[in-house]
Structure 1
Amino acid sequence: MKVYSKKSVQHINASIEECWAFFSNPRNLQKITPQTMGFQITDFDNRNMYAGQIIQYKVSPLFGIKLSWVTEITIVKENEYFIDEQRFGPYAMWHHKHFFEPVENGVKMTDIVHYAIPFGFIGRIANALIVKNKIKEIFEYREQIVNQIFNAK
């Protein structure tokens, strides 16, 4: 199984507490996900993020096909980082680390995703042609929205 990675770094003009309050609230996921993904939380316990939390979604990453996706928040260190991992969904593996570091004039947010596509050779072709570009688009969209929310002040 081939594992791919994507890293994204963004400066946010906010305090670490403001940043954490936004990103640790699962309800905000839909705000920072492109509408074209058809992202919809279908089940979670209406609590801010904690280790062991299960969040269920529907997504339509390609051709409008609805897929179920279940992630678990595996590790949380308040105001510093959290990790979400896919338990069921479109990837053979999904491990997403979110880091928040106070810096001059705000917060440096770093995301590191490791993922694998199912279906062996066909999955590698799908990643090269479609998936890696889709993930790149998602992070670019998120950067734009986060800029609108925090950096347009």
Structure 2
Amino acid sequence: MARIELEMLVKASPAACYALALNTQAHIDSTRHTGERVLAGPASGQLQLGDVVTWEARRLGVRQRLTVRITAAVPPHYFRDELVRGAFRTLRHEHYFEAVPGGTRVRDVFEFSSPLGFVGRWFDHLFLKSYLTRFLQARNEALEFRLEAGAAA
């Protein structure tokens, strides 16, 4: 399983960071470059524990669907979403929000594996990990900009 860990300091409260990270419109706005949209599940407002949402986006030039469930939530400090159905064999994304001087430490732990055995592990580590790291960084920067500009959900 491949693992990506990202961390950033956001000048906003944990509650604001948590709420924006679970807001479907903020997710769509922060992934505009992939044409992401909701196909099934809550299409607006805040996602909550137990919610299942199917996203469709253009990734690596191909339209893909990914269905995830919010499997854990401890507002406003933590939530986890996990794969229900999609192009990965496994996918787990943990989101942490810790109050620190000057704002909130936002940390992502993203674990995934492809369904292609040895070839998939090679692909995960040499290509997909880099692509997904850039994707997550861009999404986090868009959310950070929105929070620090005062335009939170």
Normalization by structure 1: what TM-score? 0.88
Cα distance in 2 for partners of 1:51, 1:148 equals 26
Q: Which residue of 1 aligns with 2:80?
A: 83
Q: RMSD of the alignment, in Å?
A: 1.8
Matches within 5 A, 1:22-41: 22-33=20-31, 35=33, 37-41=34-38
Q: Which amino acid aligns with 1:90?
A: A
Aligned to 2:135: 138
Q: Quick one: distance in 1 between partners of 2:14 and 2:133?
A: 25
- Alignment of 1:116 with 2:116, yes or no, is no
How many percent identity over aligned positions?
A: 21
Structure 1 unaligned residues grouped into runs of 5+:
none
Q: Which residue of 2 aligns with 1:71?
A: 68
Q: TM-score, length-normalised on structure 2? A: 0.88
SS in 2 for 1:67: strand
Question: Comparing 24-33 with 48-57, which one deviates more in the overlay?
Answer: 24-33
Gaps of 5+ in 2: none
Q: Structure 2 counterpart of 1:18, which letter?
A: A
Size of the aligned set, in residue pairs, is 149
Separation in 1 of the partners of 2:15 and 2:118?
A: 44
- Asked whether 1:7 is paired with 2:9, we answer no
Q: Distance in 1 between matches of 2:116 and 2:9?
A: 36
Could you report, residue by residue, the CA deviation over 1:1-51 in whole angstroms, capped at 9, with x for unpaired residues?
A: xx110000011101222222211212211222251x332111223452222
For residues 147 and 22 of structure 1, the distance between their equivalents in structure 2, rounded to whole angstroms, comes to: 9
Contact 1:50 1:75 in 2 (8 A): no
- Structure 2 distance, partners of 1:53, 1:143, is 21
Using the TM superposition, name which of 132-141 and 69-78 deviates more. Answer: 132-141
In 1: Cα distance, 2:32 partner to 2:130 partner: 14
User: Partner amino acid for 1:81?
Assistant: Y
The answer to which of 114-123 and 17-26 deviates more is 17-26
Partner amino acid for 1:83?
R
Deviates more, 1:140-149 or 1:48-57: 140-149
Code of the residue aligned with 1:62 in structure 2: it is: L
